[in-house]
């Protein structure tokens, strides 16, 4: 018995070591590396056990992906004895219950590659894992010569922990084209994400064509052009051209939704209300409870985030007391429901400033009529009416966790973003929950030292994202549908910036959503991330290397003077520094203990090395900034 236990422990340990070496993201349920390699040859073949169109599409996807980088020709058809890559579906009577609808078995031998699954989605995810076993050059968009296109021989059993593995893309603050959205989908599925949360409307733009309300895109999709610090830009003048923005026609939406479906992704549309609705109000001012002329926001400050309740400087809310509001909303969701097959529609509900409601006579009358005690109950009244509209279209409603405030109907699904508190509360009330806490999953935040990173408003390092646990303690696991990474675009002005913020933190989120909790390991994850950086280089994709940069920890010493601790997010790096205005390298002093600032020094310059190779950015840190962070006058 003891020998058996020792053998099992050794096998598990060996499996984890091989998985680390293989650098598969997300970490599979189990991996066993075998002796030998499989070498892909020209004129390779992909065989299918089933003629269904979804399996065939997986075969074509894999063949074209391989052919793009290798230049090899290929054939697809039935499985023959000589078939190189074999995609099999279990017979309906012999389905593997453990694998579910998205799991797979991958077996790579010296002679062939076999992927077996219950459903084509499982074949697709197995194909993604196999591609990660091939050399990094497989990610190239052009032919790479003089490469042995080999894979280690392995046995992989894999299936997801959660059904909802999402990424949110905000196209309202900055518009991204139909082709870019499809590219986003194509990139996320490589790591087994299966939900695109599409944030389509906000103060800065309305992005979906609603034919019964044409002004939504004639007016609401466009704003004045601005370049500069977000929320600090100047308001547009009356005669300034509104030329920045764009929208998706309904045919565009159908094309994206079909592309997503072809890649086993479902699309969740979000129409944000009653707050974040300035583009809606600019198009149809009669839904506002505050008379006036409204413009689509161009980046100027419209909310005072420093005060409790974040009061609005301009009323950007739809009025719950206006019956016209619900007529328009019904028209919007009628058309949205027809465009998106997913059973859910997201109605927003977040960050609704209520200071203008407090001054509204119509709101006061509504409160008296409906016996509403406070502004939270006013919003709850609105949310419940919107939910009935969404349900009338045959859909279920999702909302941000603010929809809990003031009371919520039994059928709504809560997306918890303000930490995990809202998700815990919702689950205890019996609601289904999608976990997306800003403390772990907001990938638009700083991921490294702010002084050298694009400006944003808070910090989320990779190691913090990797701590994401979708099921909080004490919550019924079956109520947690899964989770997602959220990418807000206030400060994402182009596609390269989207990629930079998405990677590598989306790797951390998917490993929490797909992989077994017990398989996660930070140190092995970092090694895998570095291997995927190499793959991204081959694909010419942008990503952040902030994990290599120095971290500053300024404090006061016992005399109230500045003391500086330096560190790094990952192990094995050395930090070199100087106070003398010159640029340090690995021949300068190496950091070993907290630093005191020499008299008259105004700048601390640091750089990180691995061995004798510079790996992190040089950071020039003003002493004045460190004093401010340490709260030293």
Cβ atoms of residues 465 and 443 within 8 Å: yes
Give the torsion through C-alpha atoms of 531, 536, 542, 547, to 10 deg. Answer: 0
> Can you tell me the mean pLDDT for 199-228?
96
| β strands within 423-581, DSSP E | 433-435, 480-487, 550-556, 562-568, 574-578
Question: Would you say residue 543 has pLDDT above 70?
Answer: yes
Segment 596-629, tens digit of pLDDT: 999 999 999 999 999 999 999 999 999 999 999 9
Structure confidence by residue, pLDDT tens digits, 315-357: 999 999 999 999 999 999 999 999 999 999 999 999 999 999 9
| Parallel/antiparallel/unpaired status of strands 619-622 and 603-610 | antiparallel
pLDDT in tens, 23-71: 999 999 999 999 999 999 999 999 999 989 999 999 999 999 999 999 9
Helix (H/G/I), strand (E/B), else coil: 287? helix
Q: DSSP secondary-structure letter at 589? A: P
Q: Do domains 166-431 and 549-629 have the same CATH topology?
A: no
**Can you give the pLDDT at residue 18?**
41
The model's confidence at residue 524, banded by pLDDT at 50, 70 and 90, is very high
82: DSSP letter: T
Helices (H), 340-452: 361-370, 375-392, 421-428, 438-441
Residue 98 CB-density burial (10 A; 0-12 exposed, 13-18 middle, 19+ buried):
exposed
Q: Which of 221, 257, 22 is nearest to 132 (CA)?
A: 22
- CA 167, 169, 170 angle in degrees (round to 5)? 145
Sequence-ordered list of residues with C-beta below 8 angstroms from that of 526, at least 6 positions apart, any chain: 547, 570
Helix 361-370 with 375-392: angle, nearest 10 deg: 80
Give how far the C-alpha of residue 492 lies from the chain's centroid of Cα atoms, to the nearest Å.
13
- Cα(436)–Cα(441) distance, integer angstroms: 6
- Per-residue pLDDT band for 19 (boundaries 50, 70, 90) equals very low
> Tokens standing for 334?
């009628």
* Ramachandran angles phi, psi of 198, nearest 5°: -105, 105
Q: 2-158: which CATH architecture?
A: 2-Layer Sandwich (3.30)
What is the three-state SS of 133-186? HCCHHHHCCCCCCCCCCEEEEEEEEECCCCCEEEEEEECCCCCCCHHHHHHHHH
Q: Does residue 519 sit in helix, strand or coil?
A: helix
Please give the distance of CA 435 from its chain centroid, rounded to a whole number: 12
In the chain, how long is the greatest CA-to-CA distance? 84
Burial class (CB in 10 A: 0-12, 13-18, 19+), 327: exposed
Q: What superfamily would CATH give domain 166-431?
A: Glycosidases (3.20.20.80)
pTM for the structure as a whole: 0.95
pLDDT of the residue at 408: 87
Q: Please report, for the chain, the start and end positions of each structural domain, with discontinuous segments joined by +.
A: 2-158, 166-431, 549-629
Specify whether the CB–CB gap between 297 and 204 falls below 8 A. yes
Average pLDDT score, the chain: 95
Rounded CA separation 1/13 (Å) = 18
Taking alpha carbons only, the member of 43, 16, 49 closest to residue 30 is 16
* Pairing label, strands 396-400, 344-348: parallel
pLDDT interval class at 2 (50, 70, 90): very low
Measured CA to CA, the distance from residue 272 to residue 269 in angstroms comes to 10
Over the stretch 103-138, which tens digit does the pLDDT of each residue have?
999 999 999 999 999 999 999 999 999 999 999 999
Q: Which residues are catalytic?
A: 202, 276, 351
Q: 549-629: which CATH architecture?
A: Sandwich (2.60)
Nearest to 549 by CA among 441, 439, 463: 463
Distance from C-alpha of 367 to C-alpha of 394, rounded to nearest angstrom: 29
Q: Measuring CA to CA, how many Å separate 446 from each of 363, 442, 449, 465? A: 39, 10, 7, 12
């Amino acid at each position: 018995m003891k020998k058996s236990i020792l053998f099992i422990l050794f096998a598990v340990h060996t499996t984890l070591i091989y998985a680390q070496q293989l650098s598969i993201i997300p970490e599979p349920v189990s991996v066993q590396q075998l002796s030998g390699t499989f070498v892909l040859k020209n004129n390779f073949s992909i065989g299918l056990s089933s003629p269904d169109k979804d399996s065939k599409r997986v075969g074509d996807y894999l063949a074209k992906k391989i052919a793009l980088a290798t230049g090899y020709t290929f054939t697809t058809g039935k499985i023959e004895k000589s078939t190189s890559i074999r995609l099999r579906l279990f017979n309906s009577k012999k389905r593997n219950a453990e694998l579910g609808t998205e799991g797979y078995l991958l077996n790579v031998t010296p002679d062939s590659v076999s992927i077996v699954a219950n459903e084509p989605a499982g074949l697709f995810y197995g194909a993604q894992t196999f591609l990660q076993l091939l050399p990094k050059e497989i990610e190239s968009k052009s032919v790479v010569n003089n490469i042995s296109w080999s894979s280690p021989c392995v046995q992989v059993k894999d299936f997801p922990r959660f059904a909802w593995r999402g990424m949110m893309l905000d196209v309202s603050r900055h518009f991204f084209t139909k082709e870019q959205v499809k590219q986003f989908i194509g990139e996320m599925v490589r790591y087994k994400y299966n939900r695109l949360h599409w944030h389509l409307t906000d103060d800065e733009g309305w992005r979906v064509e609603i034919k019964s309300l044409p002004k939504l895109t004639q007016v609401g999709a466009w704003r004045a052009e601005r370049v500069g610090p977000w929320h600090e830009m100047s308001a547009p003048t009356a005669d300034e051209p509104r030329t920045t923005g764009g929208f998706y026609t309904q045919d565009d939406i159908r094309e994206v939704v079909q592309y997503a479906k072809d890649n086993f992704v479902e699309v969740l549309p979000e129409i944000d209300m009653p707050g974040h609705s300035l583009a809606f109000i600019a198009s149809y001012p009669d839904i506002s409870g505050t008379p006036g002329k409204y413009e689509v926001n161009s980046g100027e400050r419209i909310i005072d985030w420093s005060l409790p309740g974040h009061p609005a400087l301009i009323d950007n809310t739809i009025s719950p007391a206006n019956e016209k509001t619900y007529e328009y909303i019904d028209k919007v969701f009628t058309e949205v429901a027809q465009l998106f097959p997913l059973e859910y529609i997201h109605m927003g509900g977040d960050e609704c400033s209520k200071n203008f409601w407090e001054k509204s006579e119509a709101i006061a009358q509504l409160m008296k009529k409906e016996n509403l005690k406070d502004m939270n109950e006013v919003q709850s009244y609105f949310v419940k009416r919107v939910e009935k509209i969404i349900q009338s279209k045959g859909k279920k409603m999702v909302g941000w966790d603010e929809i809990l405030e003031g009371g919520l109907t039994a059928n709504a699904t809560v997306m918890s973003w303000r930490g995990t508190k809202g998700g815990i509360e919702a689950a205890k009330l019996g609601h289904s929950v999608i976990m997306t806490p800003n403390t772990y999953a907001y990938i638009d935040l700083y991921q490294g030292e702010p002084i050298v990173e694009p400006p944003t408003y808070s910090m989320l390092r990779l190691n913090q994202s990797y701590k994401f646990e979708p099921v909080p303690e004490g919550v019924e696991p079956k109520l947690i549908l899964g989770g997602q990474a959220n990418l807000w675009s206030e400060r994402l002005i182009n596609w390269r910036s989207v990629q930079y913020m998405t990677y590598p933190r989306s790797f951390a989120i998917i490993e929490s959503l797909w992989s077994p909790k017990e398989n996660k390991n930070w140190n092995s994850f970092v090694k895998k991330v570095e291997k995927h950086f190499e793959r991204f280089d081959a694909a010419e994709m942008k990503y952040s290397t902030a994990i290599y940069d120095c971290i500053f920890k300024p404090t006061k010493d016992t005399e109230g003077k500045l003391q500086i601790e330096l560190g790094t997010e990952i192990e094995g790096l050395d930090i070199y520094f100087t106070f003398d205005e010159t640029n340090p390298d690995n021949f300068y002093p190496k950091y070993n203990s907290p630093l005191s600032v020499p008299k008259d020094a105004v700048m601390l310059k640091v750089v990180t090395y691995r061995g004798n190779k510079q790996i992190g950015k040089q950071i020039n840190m003003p002493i004045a900034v460190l004093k401010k962070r340490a709260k030293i006058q």
